Amino acid sequence: MAQASIKAKPDQSDATWKTRFQEWWFRNRALIGFAFIFPWFAGFIIFDALPFIYNLYLSFTDYQIGTRGVPPWIGFENYIEIFTDDKLFGKSMYNTVYYLGFSVPLRLIFAFLVALILNLRVRGMELYRTLFYVPSVVPLVAATVIFAGFLNTRYGFLNQFLVLIGAAPVRWLSSPDAIKPSLILLSLWGFGGQMIIFLAGLQGIPEDLYEAAAIDGGTGWHRLLYITLPLMTPTIFFNLLLGLIGGFQIFEQVFILIGTNGGPLQAGLVYMLHVYNKAFRDFEFGYSAALSVILFLIIFVLTIMLVYTSNRWVFYGDAQDDDS
Amino acid sequence: MIEDPRARIVRYFVIYTILTVGAIVMMVPLLWTVSTSLKTRDKISIRRLELIPDPVAWDNYPYLFEALPILQYTRNTMVIVVASLFGAWVPCTLAGYAFARIPFPGRNIFFGILLATMMLPYVVRLIPLFLFFDEIGWTRTFGPLILPRLLGHNAFYIFLYRQFFRGIPEDIYDSARIDGCSEFGVWWRIFMPMSRPVLAAVSIFAFSFAWNDFLNPLIYLGSNKELWTLALGLNALQGFEGEDNSLNLIMVFSMLMIIPMLIVFYFGQKHLISGVTAQGSLKG
């Protein structure tokens, strides 16, 4: 056998050797490729895939504190309880959607308008950009704590200012009507992040498009409507999607501003707070997992719907990207 | 087209008025924070608006270091920051490089998985991960906070790197390989030095996400004061409405959390935009 193979080798042409080497090298490269993505992939299995599956499983069990061994399977009972018995489910969902319904569009509009103005290449634009952006750099915990003081009924700036100009002070964080507006106000303060993304998008619009429009006698309004806006739709879409996904998961601001109970009449009890309370206050992990699965499904369906409808209004005109 | 000079002046006046009023509104909470952080204890309970503190209580700053273990909080936060930066620099760039430049079987499928995880909300992993880390006895330790970061468990960073690396011309890669540079060598000697903008941008993200993280430290370290981060310390100092006699110290603490972020953003500002928008990564 050994002799036969030795005999066989010289018969093979140089070309075969070359392809063999290439094949070996390709496999070697593939191994290197796998080695390079291995840490990420291990993390994906441990921190994404397995927890996701286990969470789904947990949502069908009655896992509570003190549950030993395999948690008892109860089918859809958690889900049935959520939809029929859990008053706080509806309440927290309402609060979250209320918050989203205002904060997401308002933040988009502010960010876009300010970016438009800053893109006019006015003198001192750098300074203004910094001033609008700095609040977004403030760590969320610090921003929230600052707002807790800023909105404080007696010692906060806002009420003292209202009194100064002769208006009535508002119990921003302790009256049920004002809690959600306060949260929206806090989220608006951080519109700078989206503004920067818009600004980068605006500066990427080719100048010659505007020049062509000017030659054709287009007014500023036309330029905005027929050039800027269509070319900015991918950026608007990006910001809208991330805003919605993030908005559904609002937690830290509320946790710090008004505590885990969600304030008076639970007007500030957002969905994540309900999930947190069920898991880490009541230790009903199975029930809480079911709540989290519902939130996941809502975000998932919403994302699919947005991506699906985006074909109609998002304009991917520039084909310069070679992305597959 | 020549614009009427009067119309021009009106136009600029309107623009600058809007910008200036907007900027003032945006800066007021921060100015108030600075002002409150420099007020004495009896001044903060005055119910009248007073923007410039009199007297200026510079002592508040050193006092906070005496009253609270600020240095310990900072050290704990830095442990998480360092793990995060390591993950962003090594495993994430390697993965981004493999996705951009090394053809291996199933690469598109793996990349699809990567993109999918970017959309996976944190909430569906929260409880299983907590139960898992509790099971192996890692709650009340840094483990759950640093292990994912050390592994570079961040699809967003890998995605940004991949987009940037794809923009590096193929020729450079080919000539390096012909000269006998290994895959690892190309990554280290050619791609890393050429990728300063995206490295800077990702480093800023990594720093600020670690510096700002609240929910994870709360869940895993909340009951272990020894390992509290700055964010947890600040949250604990803050009382709900009614007990506000330490408002000035709260604002001092806030300033301590804000200043490092301002410094990082000041130096990284220019890379932040170029690193992220290069290669149209926002359009995916």
Given the structure tokens 């945006």, which residue do they identify? B26
Give percent above pLDDT 90 in chain A: 58
The answer for residues whose C-beta is within 8 angstroms of residue A68's C-beta and 6 or more apart is none
A87-140+176-313: CATH homologous superfamily? MetI-like (1.10.3720.10)
Please tell me the least confidently modeled range out of A72-81, B124-133, B210-219, B239-248. Answer: B239-248
Average pLDDT over every residue of A21-42: 85
CB distance B95–A145 less than 8 Å? no
Q: Does B68 touch chain A (CB under 8 A)?
A: no
In one-letter notation, the amino acid at residue B175 is: S
Give percent above pLDDT 70 in chain A: 92
- How many angstroms separate the CA of residue B115 from the nearest CA in chain A? 12
Task: Give the mutation candidate from B35, B127, B256, B279 for the A interface (greatest A CB count, under 10 A).
Answer: B127
For chain B, the farthest-separated pair of C-alpha atoms sits apart, in whole angstroms, at: 75
- How many angstroms separate the CA of residue B209 from the nearest CA in chain A? 9
Q: Does B70 touch chain A (CB under 8 A)?
A: no
**pLDDT tens per residue across span B249-278:** 999 999 999 999 999 988 887 777 666 665
Q: What is the pLDDT of residue B275?
A: 66
User: Which residues in chain A have their CB less than 8 angstroms from residue B15's CB?
Assistant: 117, 120, 122
If phi over 0 gives left and psi between -120 and 50 gives alpha, with beta otherwise, what is residue A220?
A: alpha
Residue of A nearest to B158 (CA): A40
Given the structure tokens 């995060």, which residue do they identify? B84
Question: Nearest CB to B265: which of A137, A161, A259?
Answer: A137
- How many angstroms separate the CA of residue B241 from the nearest CA in chain A? 7
The pLDDT mean for chain B works out to 88
Average pLDDT over every residue of A281-299: 95
Q: Does B28 touch chain A (CB under 8 A)?
A: yes
Structure tokens at A74: 């109860």
Structure tokens at B69: 């273990």
Between the CA atoms of A260, A266, A272 and A277, what dihedral angle is there, to the nearest 10 degrees?
40
Q: What is the pLDDT of residue A320?
A: 46
Q: Does B275 touch chain A (CB under 8 A)?
A: no
- How many angstroms separate the CA of residue A3 from the nearest CA in chain B? 35
What fold characterizes domain B60-283?
Answer: MetI-like fold (1.10.3720)
Q: What is the pLDDT of residue B276?
A: 64
Domain ranges across chain B: 5-37, 60-283
Structure tokens at B6: 């009067």
